[in-house]
C-alpha cells in the first residue's frame, strides 16, 4: 500500500459518509459479537478457579506426544517437578479416594478423602475453622499420620465437637490424628 492509496481511500470515505458509517457500524457490531462470544466461551472452556489468584494456578500432566495421550502422574513425578521447576512458586499433589472412617464405636462411614500434600492447603489459602492444616513436617518419612476433616464430616461423624482436634481416628484401617477442621463450604479439590 502506498501513500497515494491511503489518500484515495480517505477521499472516498469522505465523499460517501453514509457508506462509511454503515461499514464502520457493521465492523463495530462484528467485533463486539466476536469479543462477547469469546468471553462467554472462555468462561466455560477455561474457568477461573475460585481461589485467591486462581488465574495463576495450572495443572501439570505427562503427555506422550507420539500418540497424543495423557499418561498417569506418579508421586515420583511430583517430587521431580518440585525439585526441578524453577518457574513455579509452589507445587501441590492430590488424589481423591473413598475410605472408611471409624470415628467412634458405631459402624464406619464411607467418606471421600483427598490425599494431598501440605502445599495443597497453601494453594487454597483457606484457613481452618479449628486447629491447623498440613505442614511440611507432616510429609516427612516416619511422621505421625494426620488428618484434616471437612465441615460435613465434623458435623456428622463428630457432632460438631470442638475437642475433635487431637483425637485419634481410623481412616481406612490406619490410625490418624485429627489436626484440623475446615470451614463450611470448603471441599478442595471438588469445589475449588
Please give the average per-residue pLDDT across 22-45, as a whole number: 91
Is there a single domain that holds both residue 95 and residue 41?
Answer: no
Residue 189 covered by a domain: no
Residue 36 covered by a domain: yes
Residue 167 covered by a domain: yes
Question: How high is the pLDDT of residue 117?
Answer: 85
Please give the average per-residue pLDDT across 146-168, as a whole number: 91
Q: How many CA within 13 A on the CB side of residue 155?
A: 8
Higher pLDDT, 74 or 182: 182
Is there a single domain that holds both residue 104 and residue 175?
Answer: yes
User: What is the rounded distance in angstroms from the CA atom of residue 150 to the CA atom of residue 90?
Assistant: 23
Output DSSP code: residue 163. Answer: G
Please give the tally of structural domains in the chain.
Answer: 2
Please give the average per-residue pLDDT across 23-47, as a whole number: 89
- Confirm whether pTM is higher than 0.75: no
Is there a single domain that holds both residue 98 and residue 172?
Answer: yes
Flag the least confident range among 50-64, 66-80, 163-177: 50-64
Is there a single domain that holds both residue 173 and residue 101?
Answer: yes
Residue 23 covered by a domain: yes
Residue 75 covered by a domain: no
Q: Which sign does the torsion angle of CA 38, 39, 41, 42 carry?
A: positive
- Summarised one tens digit per residue, pLDDT across range 90-123 is 788 888 889 999 887 778 888 888 888 888 888 8
Residue 141: is its pLDDT beyond 90?
A: no
Return the C-alpha cell found at 75: 508421586
Residue 192: is its pLDDT beyond 50?
A: no
Is there a single domain that holds both residue 95 and residue 172?
Answer: yes
Residue 33 covered by a domain: yes
Residue 190 covered by a domain: no
User: What is the rounded distance in angstroms from the CA atom of residue 42 to the CA atom of residue 192?
Assistant: 18
Residue 80 covered by a domain: no
Question: How high is the pLDDT of residue 31?
Answer: 97
Which residues form the domain of 28? 3-45
Q: Which sign does the torsion angle of CA 68, 58, 75, 184 carry?
A: negative
Amino acid at each position: 500500500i502506498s501513500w497515494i492509496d491511503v489518500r484515495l481511500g480517505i477521499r472516498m470515505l469522505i465523499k460517501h459518509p453514509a457508506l462509511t458509517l454503515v461499514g464502520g457500524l457493521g465492523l463495530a457490531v462484528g467485533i463486539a459479537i466476536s469479543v462477547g462470544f469469546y468471553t462467554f466461551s472462555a468462561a466455560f472452556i477455561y474457568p477461573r478457579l475460585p481461589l485467591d489468584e486462581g488465574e495463576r494456578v495450572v495443572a501439570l500432566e505427562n503427555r506422550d506426544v507420539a500418540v497424543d495421550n495423557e499418561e498417569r502422574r506418579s508421586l515420583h513425578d511430583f517430587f521431580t517437578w518440585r525439585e526441578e521447576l524453577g518457574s513455579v512458586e509452589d507445587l501441590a499433589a492430590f488424589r481423591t479416594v473413598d475410605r472408611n472412617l471409624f470415628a467412634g464405636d458405631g459402624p464406619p462411614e464411607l467418606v471421600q478423602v483427598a490425599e494431598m500434600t501440605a502445599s495443597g492447603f497453601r494453594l487454597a489459602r483457606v484457613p481452618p475453622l479449628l486447629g491447623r492444616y498440613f505442614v511440611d513436617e507432616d510429609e516427612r518419612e516416619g511422621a505421625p499420620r494426620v488428618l484434616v476433616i471437612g465441615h460435613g464430616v465434623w458435623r456428622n461423624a463428630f457432632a460438631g465437637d470442638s475437642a475433635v482436634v487431637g483425637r485419634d481416628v481410623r481412616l481406612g484401617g490406619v490410625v490418624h490424628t485429627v489436626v484440623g477442621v475446615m470451614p463450611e463450604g470448603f471441599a478442595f479439590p471438588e469445589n475449588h
